Structure 1
Amino acid sequence: MLTFAPGPSKVYDALSTYLQDAFNEGILSANHRSGPFMKLYQETESLMRQKLHMPEDYSLLFTSSATENWEIISQSIVESASFHIYSGSFGKKWIGFAQHIIPGSGGIKIDANEEIDVENLEISEEFDLIALTQNETANASQVPMSVIEAIKEKFPEKMIAVDTTSSMAGIEFDFSLADIWYASVQKCFGLPAGLGILILSPKAIEKTERKGENGRYNSLNFMIENARGYQTHYTPNVLGIYLLNRVLKDMPEIQHIDANLRVRMHKLENCIAKTKSLRMLVTNDATRSTTVMGVTGPEEVITKVKSEAKAAGMELGSGYGPLKPTSFRIANFPAITNEEMDRLIEFLSKY
C-alpha cells in the first residue's frame, strides 16, 4: 500500500539497504561513548550543514521526538514565559505543554487562512521567547520565511523557536532567522518514527547556560555538555541516527528538493481546483503548506475518495481532529516519488 499519510509517512525506498548496511557495519552494537558513534554524530552534523544549510555555528542535538522538544524548550531555555502564535492542533498542544511548565505562557490563535499581522502584533516584555509552528500538519497551513524574518526584525530582543516537524528536509529554511529549530524524522526525512532533531544557535546555548536548569534527565545543559564531545546524554536511537546520516548523504541539497516539491504541490493544487466536489482546505496560497495538502468536501465524498483510493492501492491521510469527517491530507514529502505523486493526481482528477 502506497501511503500519502502525513506522518508517519512513506519511508525512502532505499531504507532496506540502509538497514542491512547498519547491521553489516556493526553500528547497531556501538556504544554511544565510542569512537564510531562519535564519528557518526560528527559526520551527521556536518551533513546537516552541507545538505540543509544549517549554519556553521549552530549545533545539532538528538531527542526522542519533536514533542519532547516542547518540554525541553520551556524547561531549559525560556526564562520568563513563551508567546505562541498558532493556527492548529499541534500549535495548541505546544502552548499546552508550555503552560503546564510555565503557567504565564500565552499567545494568540489565528485562522489557517490568516496571515500573521506582524505590523500590528504586540508582544509584551514578560515574554522572552516567541514560538511558531512553521508547518501546521493538522490543517495544512504554514508560516513563510518572510514572516519569520519580519517577526525577528520587530522583536530582536526575543528568542524565536520554530516547529518544523513536517517541513524540515522538505523546504529550504533560513536558519539565521531563529535560534531554535526542531523536527522529527518520520515526515520529510522519510524515516521511521523515533528520533527528534533539535538545532540551536549560539545565542540559544548561551541563554540555556544563563538559565542554568539542570534538574532533570533531559535538561538541555546536560545535553549540550555531551554534544560538545559528539555524544548524547542517554543511550540514543543509534539506528535512527545512522539512517538519518544515510538519507542526508543520498539526498540532493535542500534547494533542489524545495523546488521539486513546490512544482508538485502546484500540480496537486491545480488538480483539486478542477474537481467538482473537492476543494483545498487552506484557500489562501500565502498560508498554504508546501509539504502537506489538506483537501475538504462533503463527508460522503471524502469517505468515498478515501475508500476508492485504498482499493487502488493508495492510502490518504485522514483529516485531523474535528476536520476528520470532511477532509483528508496528502503528504508532499520527498520520499514520495514524482511518479507516485502523478499517479495520485491522476486518481483524484476524476472527482
Structure 2
Amino acid sequence: MITFYPGPSKVYPQVADYAAEAIREGIVSLNHRSAGFMDIVKETVRLLHDKLDIPADYHIALVSSATECWEIVAQSLTAVSSLHPYNGAFGKKWAEYAYKIKPPVSLSDADVLCLVQNETSNGTQVSMETLAQFRRDFSALIAVDAVSSMAGIQFDWSLADVWFASVQKCFGLPAGLAVLIYSPAALKRAEEIGENAHYNSLLFIHENFSKFQTPYTPNGLGIYLLMRVLQQVPPIGTVDALTKKRATDWYAFFEQEMMNSPFRVLINDPTTRSDTVIAVQGNEQEVNKLKKAAQQEGITLGNGYGDWKNTTFRIANFPAITDEEIGTLTQFLRSY
C-alpha cells in the first residue's frame, strides 16, 4: 500500500532496520539518565541544528507531541494572553486549547502571537515573507506550529521565538515524538514568568535538556530513530528545493492535466498554497468514488478535514515519499 495520507504519513523504509538495531543493541533498554542515552540525545540535538540549519543560540527539546507544545506555550510563555489568527481547523483548535489554560482576558495586551505555518486541514501556509511582516508588526513572542512542514521546507528561524512539530510528517517517522525549538528571548520570558509547576514546564524541560537529559522517561526509541533518520537525510536546503519542485509539479498537474476532471485545487491563491499538503476539492460523491478507486489500486489518499471533510482529499508532499510513488499516483489520476 502506498500512502499519501498527510499524517501519520509514510515513514522512511530504513526506519524498520533502525528499530531492529535499537532492540538488538539494547538501546531501547537504556536508562534515560545513563551516559549512553545522553549521548544519543546530544547527537540528536546536534544533528537537528546541523541538518535543519537551526541557529546555534536556539535551544532544542524533545517532547511527546505538538499538542503538548500548545500546552507548554500557554502555561510557560504566556503572561497575559495569546493571540491566534488562523484560517483552518488546527489553528482554531490551538486557540481553543490555549484559552482553556490562559483565558483571553485582554487580547489587546497579548504577549504571544500563535501561528500555524502550514494548515494541514486546507492546504494553506504562511510564507516566510508574511511571517516577517508579523515579526515587524508584533513586538512580543511569536510561536509557530510547523507540524506539516518542519524538515520539509526551509525556515528563517529568526522570524519566531518558538517552533515545534511532531515527527510523523516531514521527518518520516512514527508518531509519538515532537521537536520543540525556542529562542533566547523565549527562555528569558519563561524565566520572567517563572512557571515551574508541571512536568512539562519549559524551565524544567530546559534544565534537563541543558544536560542532554529529559524531565521524564521519554520515547527512547523515537529519539533514536530521529537521530538515525537525521543522519541519512540531506541538508534542509536540498530537501526544500525538492519539496518545492514537487509542489509546483503537483499544482501544475491539477491545473493542466486534470482541468477537465471533477477536481480542482482547493486554494486559488498560489501565494498561500502549502508546499507540503496539496488539498483538492470536488463534490462529495466524486471525492468518495476517487478515494475508493485509489484504495483498490493500493493507494491511500488523505481524507478531507474539518469544514472540508467531505468535499476534499489531501495529498502529502513529504520527503519520505518517492518519485516512483508520485508517478504511480499521477498515472492513476490520469486514467481515472
Q: How does 1:39-118 map to 2 (within 5 A)?
A: 39-104=39-104
Of residues 211, 228, 235 in structure 2, which corresponds to 1:229?
211
- Give the Cα–Cα distance (whole angstroms) in 2 for the partners of residues 268 and 170 of structure 1: 16
CA contact (8 A) 1:65 1:183 kept: yes
For residue 236 of structure 1, report the CA deviation from its aligned partner: 0.2
- Give the Cα–Cα distance (whole angstroms) in 1 for the partners of residues 106 and 250 of structure 2: 36
Structure 2 unaligned residues grouped into runs of 5+: none
Aligned partner of 1:5 in structure 2 is 5
Q: In the alignment, does 2:305 pair up with 1:320?
A: yes
For residue 269 of structure 1, report the CA deviation from its aligned partner: 1.1
Of residues 288, 295, 310 in structure 2, which corresponds to 1:303?
288
Of residues 240, 244, 254 in structure 2, which corresponds to 1:272?
254
Q: In the alignment, does 2:187 pair up with 1:205?
A: yes
Structure 1 unaligned residues grouped into runs of 5+: 108-123
Aligned partner of 1:151 in structure 2 is 134
The alignment's TM-score, normalised by the length of structure 1, stands at 0.93
The alignment's TM-score, normalised by the length of structure 2, stands at 0.97
- Give the Cα–Cα distance (whole angstroms) in 2 for the partners of residues 35 and 328 of structure 1: 46
- Give the Cα–Cα distance (whole angstroms) in 2 for the partners of residues 177 and 136 of structure 1: 18
Aligned partner of 1:179 in structure 2 is 161
Q: Which moved more, 1:291-300 or 1:263-272?
A: 263-272
For residue 254 of structure 1, report the CA deviation from its aligned partner: 0.7
Q: In the alignment, does 2:127 pair up with 1:130?
A: no
Q: 1:105 to 1:35 in 2, by over 3 A?
A: farther
Aligned partner of 1:336 in structure 2 is 321
User: What one-letter code is carried by the residue in structure 2 that aligns with 1:327?
Assistant: T
Residue 248 of structure 1 aligns to a residue in which SS? helix
CA distances 1:44-97 after superposition (whole Å, capped 9, x unpaired): 111011110111011111111000110110101111111111111100000001
CA contact (8 A) 2:80 2:106 kept: no
Residue 60 of structure 1 aligns to a residue in which SS? strand
Over 6 Å off, 4+ runs: none
User: What one-letter code is carried by the residue in structure 1 that aligns with 2:203?
Assistant: N
CA contact (8 A) 2:6 2:315 kept: yes
Aligned partner of 1:218 in structure 2 is 200
Q: Percent identity?
A: 50
User: What one-letter code is carried by the residue in structure 1 that aligns with 2:19?
Assistant: L
Of residues 249, 259, 270 in structure 1, which corresponds to 2:231?
249
Q: In the alignment, does 2:302 pair up with 1:348?
A: no
Alpha-carbon RMSD across the aligned residues, in angstroms, is: 1.2
For residue 105 of structure 1, report the CA deviation from its aligned partner: 6.4
For residue 106 of structure 1, report the CA deviation from its aligned partner: 7.9
- Give the Cα–Cα distance (whole angstroms) in 1 for the partners of residues 210 and 115 of structure 2: 27
Q: 1:94 to 1:105 in 2, by over 3 A?
A: farther
Aligned partner of 2:146 in structure 1 is 164
